[in-house]
């Protein structure tokens, strides 16, 4: 069975950044499951999956435009510490969840001053070409429920309470 829309794909992957550092890997846990054609994974990886079958292994390098996008300098902002409300004084490198007019946003703390904090709302992998080392573990038909939800269910997929 080959990968196409409305198939659920189980796969293992190791993700490395441009510096050749391993960012994350599924090897120590369940394979990841996703519903093909439903934008569950980054576009460049989904495209590389097309037509593959269980047992296939491949490596693909995805440019930022097909991964987490380019870095936007406008996403680096200085905000008053008091906007953090009850969050204790942050440290550089810490990830914070901020409430904004557009909803909750995850930011990385860059610098902490006396009254202000510089935060970066870019995705940590924005602006990077990402290399995926992939092993397709299984391909199956999606259930009607998965298709209506727009994601895969099961151990490596979406788990409802």
Least distance in angstroms from the C-beta of 102 to Zn ion: 25
Q: Which is nearer to Zn ion, 33 or 108 (CB)?
A: 33
Closest among 123, 129, 89 to 108, alpha carbons compared:
123
| Binding residues among 136-155 for Zn ion as defined by CB under 5 A | 149
Calpha distance 105→139 (Å, rounded): 34
Q: How far is the CB of 45 from Zn ion (least distance, A)?
A: 21
User: With respect to Zn ion, which residue has the nearer C-beta, 28 or 161?
Assistant: 161
* Minimum CB distance to Zn ion, residue 2 (Å): 24
Residue whose structure tokens are 């406008």: 74
How far is residue 118's CA from residue 4's CA, in Å, rounded to a whole number? 43
| 8 Å CB contact between 151 and 35 | yes
- Comparing CB distances to Zn ion, the nearer of 123 and 149 is 149
User: Pick from 59, 56, 58: which is nearest to 1 by CA?
Assistant: 56
20-49 residues near Zn ion, rule: CB under 5 A: none
- Which spans of this chain sit near Zn ion (rule: CB under 5 A)? 149, 158
């Amino acid at each position: 069975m080959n990968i196409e829309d409305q198939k659920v794909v189980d796969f293992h992957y190791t993700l490395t950044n441009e510096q050749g550092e391993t960012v994350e890997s599924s090897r120590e846990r369940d394979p990841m499951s996703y519903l093909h054609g439903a934008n569950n994974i980054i576009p460049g990886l989904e495209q590389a999956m097309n037509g593959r079958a269980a047992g296939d292994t491949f490596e693909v390098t995805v440019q930022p435009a097909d991964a987490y996008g380019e870095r936007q300098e406008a996403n680096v902002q200085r905000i008053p510490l008091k906007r953090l409300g009850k969050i204790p004084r942050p440290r550089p490198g810490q990830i914070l969840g901020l409430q904004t007019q557009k909803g909750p946003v995850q930011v990385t703390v860059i610098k902490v001053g006396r009254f202000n904090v510089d935060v970066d709302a870019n995705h940590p992998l924005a602006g990077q070409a990402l290399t995926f080392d992939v092993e397709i573990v299984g391909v199956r038909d999606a259930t009607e429920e998965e298709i209506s939800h727009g994601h895969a269910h099961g151990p490596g997929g979406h788990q409802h309470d």
